[in-house]
Structure 1
Amino acid sequence: MEFISENSTIILAMMGTGVFAGLLAGLLGVGGGIVIVPVLFFLYQALGISADTAMIVATATSLATIVPTSVSSIMAHNRKGNVDFELLKHWAIFILLGVLAGSYLVTKTDGKWLAMMFGIIATLSALNMLIGKKNAIAQSLPGKGGQSIMATCIGFFSSMVGIGGGTLTVPTLTFCNYPAHRAVGTAAAVGLIISLPAALTMLIVGERPADAPFATFGLVNLPGFACIVPLTVLFAPVGASIANKLNPAMLKKVFALVLIITGVRMLAQTLIQEFL
């Protein structure tokens, strides 16, 4: 109770993050990590935690919150027929291989590099969607070999920066002339394949940093998880309902706008701390 009374503002901010992350999970298929990671990164620093520890714990905690959020989002998208299970059957094993490698590397990596990677991935993804080619780069997905490489990379980089996979899955699929709504729904399922093994790896293999926030086990912070999850699960179906009413072009613009704001802010924060 003392922790709650002393940190009520931060707890309320985490709950607000849960609402927004839930809406994004359903709307964009991103699992909410694109919002959760930077918010937790800044909030944990407000508690007096080092930037390196804040980023590592934010990454692991974000992945843990994505697990139940993705389940809720998958069910909502599947009711609308927007989850491509045939594609997932081939992609799942390669996503998992990438996740296991990426999540293990997180337990051994300096937090500042994770923060920089997050900012770069988010910013480049947004720029590609905003000012890149308006038409699909390819007329269809590549063969099974190419798709295997794509799936492995999505699992690897998504697990390293604490995102559910939509950040990379949605643009990857749409660049290959894949329907936008179906890309979003399928990305929600990719988020579950990424977040569950990644969160477990960081929980079990990760060594708790000395200055980690209260009630952190491995690299996962339970108060952050508890504040965010109920609201993400509640609001993910709302986001999915909104997504089904938007046209594909609008969906891409919303997705890109969220990415570029978040990515630039995270990258700027990290570079300032590193070089000034």
Structure 2
Amino acid sequence: MEIWWAFLLLGAVVGFVAGLLGVGGGAIMVPVLTTLFMSLNFLPEQVVHIALATSMASIILTSIASTRTHQQHQAVLWPVVRLMSAGIVVGTFGATFIAARVSALPLAIFFSVFMAYVALQMLLNIKPKPSRHLPGAVGMTATGIGIGSISALVAIGGGSLTVPFLTWCNVRVQQAIGTSAAIGLPIALSGSIGYAVAGWDQVGLPPFSLGYIYLPAVLLISAVSFFTAPLGAKLAHRLPVATLKKIFALLLIGLSAKMLHSILSH
């Protein structure tokens, strides 16, 4: 029963932080799920893949809830979402098959390095200066492929990449965050399908798995995060987000280090 409560608590934290800061879904879930799955004696060579896939599937409902809240504030640029979605789907779906062929340790290292980059952005409050306009359809599609590919390898909704890109292209921060939340849905859907297909014929996966996706964790995490994501989004205008981001950055570094230690110790 302890493990089910852990999934529920993780869902509550993930949803709230994702809504509040615009990032944090996979950043929190992947290292925590890796540790939890290892405690359940999942195969060490599969545990990171299962954590990535489960995190990606758990982002679906969180993304829907967050997008609804941002849409109520007219903060979603739907033309941008449509232009980027084709590239997002191709990049995310394709990268899941690359991840499936990579062993656990390189995946964990890539995740940790990327999270260190995200944490550094937050700690130093690095923001790109608005210096250009949004590219055309080809440029937006190519950008979507890049964001989708990296998102699949670290199981994030793309916020840490999409928001800086849109801000660089003279999109207001509020609209960049809202649009990023909407773009997180095609990332989560295509990534989930990709990980399900890529892990379909794998031997040794735990019961109640759909490919690499561990369904009990998805259901429990999503059941809570769907309600806490809008709460975080509403409180984003009332709490000291800049200070919270710095605290969250230190948490990311700690969680990533713990994940690496867990993999190396096995």
* Structure 1 and Structure 2 fold alike (TM over 0.5): yes
Residue identity (%): 29
- The residue that corresponds to 2:260 in the other structure is 270
1:192 aligns with 2:185: yes
1:239 aligns with 2:232: yes
What is the Cα-based RMSD across aligned positions, in Å?
A: 2.5
Measure, in 2, the Cα distance between the counterparts of 1:253 and 1:150.
30
The secondary structure found in structure 2 opposite 1:83 is coil
Measured after TM superposition, the shift of residue 122 of structure 1 is 1.4
- The residue that corresponds to 2:31 in the other structure is 38
Contact residue 96 and residue 198 of structure 2 kept, 8 A? no
Measured after TM superposition, the shift of residue 267 of structure 1 is 4.2
Measure, in 2, the Cα distance between the counterparts of 1:141 and 1:259.
29
Measure, in 1, the Cα distance between the counterparts of 2:190 and 2:58.
13
Q: Count how many residue pairs are aligned between Structure 1 and Structure 2.
A: 265
Contact residue 165 and residue 194 of structure 1 kept, 8 A? yes
Give the 3 Å change call, closer, same or farther, for CA 151–236 of structure 1 in structure 2. same
Measure, in 1, the Cα distance between the counterparts of 2:197 and 2:101.
13
Contact residue 76 and residue 178 of structure 2 kept, 8 A? yes
Measured after TM superposition, the shift of residue 81 of structure 1 is 1.1
Q: Which amino acid aligns with 1:29?
A: G
Contact residue 125 and residue 167 of structure 1 kept, 8 A? yes
Measure, in 2, the Cα distance between the counterparts of 1:117 and 1:15.
27
Measured after TM superposition, the shift of residue 97 of structure 1 is 1.7
Measure, in 2, the Cα distance between the counterparts of 1:86 and 1:253.
32
1:137 aligns with 2:124: no
- The residue that corresponds to 2:101 in the other structure is 108
Moved more, 236-245 or 38-47: 236-245
Runs of 5+ consecutive residues of structure 1 not aligned to the other structure? 1-7
Per-residue CA deviation, residues 123-157 of structure 1 (Å, 9 max, x unaligned), is 112213332656x3342345235544332211101
Runs of 5+ consecutive residues of structure 2 not aligned to the other structure? none
Measure, in 2, the Cα distance between the counterparts of 1:193 and 1:252.
28
- Equivalent runs, 1:190-229 vs 2, <5 Å: 190-207=183-200, 209-229=202-222
Per-residue CA deviation, residues 142-181 of structure 1 (Å, 9 max, x unaligned), is 5235544332211101011111111222233334453222
Which of the residues 233, 238, 244 maps onto 1:254? 244
Q: Which amino acid aligns with 1:262?
A: L
Moved more, 193-202 or 102-111: 102-111
Measure, in 1, the Cα distance between the counterparts of 2:181 and 2:153.
18
Give the 3 Å change call, closer, same or farther, for CA 212–240 of structure 1 in structure 2. same
- Equivalent runs, 1:54-73 vs 2, <5 Å: 54-73=47-66
Give the 3 Å change call, closer, same or farther, for CA 256–212 of structure 1 in structure 2. farther
Measured after TM superposition, the shift of residue 18 of structure 1 is 0.5
Moved more, 43-52 or 156-165: 43-52
Per-residue CA deviation, residues 156-214 of structure 1 (Å, 9 max, x unaligned), is 01011111111222233334453222222111111101010110121123246544333
Measured after TM superposition, the shift of residue 29 of structure 1 is 3.0
Measure, in 2, the Cα distance between the counterparts of 1:147 and 1:97.
13
Moved more, 116-125 or 58-67: 116-125
- The residue that corresponds to 2:41 in the other structure is 48
Per-residue CA deviation, residues 78-112 of structure 1 (Å, 9 max, x unaligned), is 00111111211211111112112211212222122
- Equivalent runs, 1:115-130 vs 2, <5 Å: 115-130=108-123
- The residue that corresponds to 2:11 in the other structure is 18
Q: Which amino acid aligns with 1:258?
A: F
Which of the residues 151, 159, 162 maps onto 1:166? 159
Measured after TM superposition, the shift of residue 230 of structure 1 is 0.6
Measure, in 1, the Cα distance between the counterparts of 2:54 and 2:214.
6
Measured after TM superposition, the shift of residue 271 of structure 1 is 6.2
Moved more, 41-50 or 123-132: 123-132
Q: Which amino acid aligns with 2:252?
A: T
Give the alignment's TM-score, normalised by structure 2.
0.88
